Structure 1
């Protein structure tokens, strides 16, 4: 009985050694919870993991229908780990790491951008950005050069998301992008927080902290400049008269901060300037979108190519459908 009381006092700390062993080998954390812990201990769908004093307690959900509960049916507050992981990359106040009124404000601002009507209108834009991706894959397939599909797909996704946000092409696939390099480096730093080699090495943590601080500032300066330039140009754009006519996600976020017609008629150009707080929230939401779409979509593209490489019959069926509907060549379609 005394032994059981002692085990209850230290929570599930005995599991930590197993976590370190598997995650250190590159085993994905979510797969660890689902495949190892849940199956080993016969935990069905939901269980509580207490790693005190090493880490924060967590409720682990492993079934999709249960995941809907805190995310859709009744939105729960963000776990502190989400803020600890995302804030060094995207800053404070973004939709992925905020709660309460601030989250609702970001949600209301971004909601029109994710409507089905708006998403359908972006199909041609996505197709246009996919052309450099297609040309590069054609070239690499001809030369037989070994390459990282993740790096190539990341540039494609970044080009698409960047253009949807700012409404002008970045051309990361053809010209490269310092913004993309900075963002990926910040994400790598965030992921390294769970690496025991970094967690237990103060010199490694100090080196990452110093490098991250410089990269974070560099990315913020670049993104803030784009926000301010668009905020100045937006009042002169007569086509942006409503939310429906907004040309980008950034336009949607900036419109509510523009002077009203009465303020503009009184020649009060500074009537509703973009405050530092509003600018920081907009900047954080932009980086949230870039990070959120970047990782998940890039992984999905890579996984799709991997699956299709093992199913040539499925690939041929897809190609035949394209030929039947769109024509035998790209020019014809």
Structure 2
């Protein structure tokens, strides 16, 4: 497999196979002995059918990919009653209303990011966009989860370093065929997990002490809006104990449940945002017309000047929803660069097959893989898919089910509203002040595939690295200058 750079993500292979062999909207892929047989789904409506949680639970492969880093029983990988409990407890924190109320807090972290970029612009040094964006996203997740200001962006964080180490080496452990090599990377993961887990547990315990010690905790338990995510989970625990007439306790088992959810948010909540902002600035660096329109919208909807815009965000956070062109830029980046995908199964159900275009396809033992990237690059759903065109989103020319960077249905990414707002805010507070440029690009002489031509400009950087999730290659090295 030399068509793409080493360790390229699987979805781009699916897109290539479908285009080359004119494959239908679902087909089988057998990669034995690397893994189970896969039923790849590239038809948007059929993909929507498979994301029904009541019919098609999550495949064990997702747990194999995530649990070694975040722990067992996470919201992404769990099924049944446990998933329903977690969703009911956590979903209110990610409602549009609650997320929009968090805008000032996210903007505060984004202004700190602005200061980090300012220093890099002054020094002229090469930096990795994924690294500084991951620190921003880490600070944001901790702010909404615990209402603490860690400031990993400027002070660093041992916990953040541990998270990056685990997500950075797990794919090496997962893919190693030599048992000694696998043990080596497993040791690195466990060493860093021993740093991150106690960090999260202490934050949970601190919130528990604060809640149970509060004099007005009895009257405040009914309030849900604006609370940190951990508070929602802990207050459910207190309410449950009071309903049973027993003193509330924070036992080790329940602490581990919460720890897993927070680590899931840290891992998933940093990857998408960090990667997508990097790819956006990569694209904008070679598309000055798009960048100029983005900047014009920021001046028009808010006001010229970053400090004045920040002040407006504090007073009128709802205006972030008026950034239509900015949203189009983000969606285009998500269309080109999909971070992850869901994996479903019929295991534990009575379903044995699915009918598609009058033909029956067996499902037993299959990894069912709806593949967003292939849909995103299909001209049937997205006209002229090779073109980075933010205006396509105002034309409403594509079926809703075809765009699925966060997946769709009841088990779509619970944090997608926060992720979208965070990316809007970061662009709003940085795009007018800085010009980013990728460093060390080696453009291809001709496109590797017929479904895109970004490699003519960006070379290997056009193809994501398949790590804990799909990421920018080598962290996306860049330089930045002050925009004049």
TM-score interval (norm. to shorter): 0.7 to 0.9
Task: Provide the rounded CA distance (Å) in 2 between the counterparts of 1:24 and 1:325.
Answer: 41
Following TM superposition, by how much is the alpha carbon of 1:262 offset from its aligned partner in structure 2, in angstroms? 6.1
Task: Provide the rounded CA distance (Å) in 1 between the counterparts of 2:140 and 2:45.
Answer: 31
Q: Are the counterparts in 2 of residues 93 and 284 from structure 1 also a CA contact under 8 Å?
A: yes
Matched, 1:244 2:220: no
Instruction: Note closer, same or farther for the CA distance 1:54–1:137 as it changes in structure 2 (3 Å cut).
Output: closer
Residue 258 of structure 1: SS of its match in structure 2? helix
Task: Provide the rounded CA distance (Å) in 2 between the counterparts of 1:233 and 1:59.
Answer: 49
Instruction: Note closer, same or farther for the CA distance 1:67–1:114 as it changes in structure 2 (3 Å cut).
Output: farther
Q: Are the counterparts in 2 of residues 49 and 60 from structure 1 also a CA contact under 8 Å?
A: yes
Alignment of 1:1-333 (within 5 A): 18=1, 25-35=6-16, 37-72=17-52, 76-193=56-173, 195=175, 199-237=176-214, 238=216, 240-245=220-225, 247-258=227-238, 271-333=247-309
Task: Provide the rounded CA distance (Å) in 1 between the counterparts of 2:196 and 2:248.
Answer: 26
CA RMSD of aligned residues (A): 2.5
Question: Paired residue for 2:480?
Answer: none
Task: Provide the rounded CA distance (Å) in 1 between the counterparts of 2:196 and 2:256.
Answer: 13
- After superposing the two structures, state which structure 1 stretch, 301-310 or 241-250, moved more: 241-250
Structure with greater proportional helix content: 1
Task: Provide the rounded CA distance (Å) in 2 between the counterparts of 1:216 and 1:231.
Answer: 22
| Aligned positions, number | 306
1:186-237 CA distance string (max 9 Å, x none): 1122222454xxx222221111122222211221111111111111111234
- After superposing the two structures, state which structure 1 stretch, 83-92 or 64-73, moved more: 64-73
Task: Provide the rounded CA distance (Å) in 1 between the counterparts of 2:174 and 2:43.
Answer: 24
Instruction: Note closer, same or farther for the CA distance 1:133–1:76 as it changes in structure 2 (3 Å cut).
Output: same
- After superposing the two structures, state which structure 1 stretch, 83-92 or 320-329, moved more: 320-329
Question: Paired residue for 2:413?
Answer: none
Q: Which is bigger in relative contact order (C-alpha 8 A, separation at least 6)?
A: 2
Q: Are the counterparts in 2 of residues 246 and 252 from structure 1 also a CA contact under 8 Å?
A: no
Q: Are the counterparts in 2 of residues 48 and 59 from structure 1 also a CA contact under 8 Å?
A: yes
Task: Provide the rounded CA distance (Å) in 2 between the counterparts of 1:100 and 1:261.
Answer: 23
Structure with greater proportional strand content: 2
1:298-321 CA distance string (max 9 Å, x none): 111111111211221222223233
Instruction: Note closer, same or farther for the CA distance 1:66–1:183 as it changes in structure 2 (3 Å cut).
Output: farther
Larger radius of gyration: 1
Instruction: Note closer, same or farther for the CA distance 1:326–1:52 as it changes in structure 2 (3 Å cut).
Output: closer
Residue 73 of structure 2: SS of its match in structure 1? coil
TM-score after normalising by structure 2: 0.59
Q: Are the counterparts in 2 of residues 23 and 29 from structure 1 also a CA contact under 8 Å?
A: no
1:95-119 CA distance string (max 9 Å, x none): 1111111111111111101111101
Following TM superposition, by how much is the alpha carbon of 1:54 offset from its aligned partner in structure 2, in angstroms? 3.7
Instruction: Note closer, same or farther for the CA distance 1:216–1:328 as it changes in structure 2 (3 Å cut).
Output: same
Following TM superposition, by how much is the alpha carbon of 1:165 offset from its aligned partner in structure 2, in angstroms? 0.6
Task: Provide the rounded CA distance (Å) in 2 between the counterparts of 1:146 and 1:88.
Answer: 33
Residue 50 of structure 2: SS of its match in structure 1? helix
Which consecutive residues of structure 2, in runs of 5 or more, have no partner in the other structure?
Answer: 310-484
Which consecutive residues of structure 1, in runs of 5 or more, have no partner in the other structure?
Answer: 1-17
TM-score after normalising by structure 1: 0.83
Following TM superposition, by how much is the alpha carbon of 1:122 offset from its aligned partner in structure 2, in angstroms? 0.9
Q: Are the counterparts in 1 of residues 146 and 230 from structure 2 also a CA contact under 8 Å?
A: yes
Following TM superposition, by how much is the alpha carbon of 1:263 offset from its aligned partner in structure 2, in angstroms? 8.0
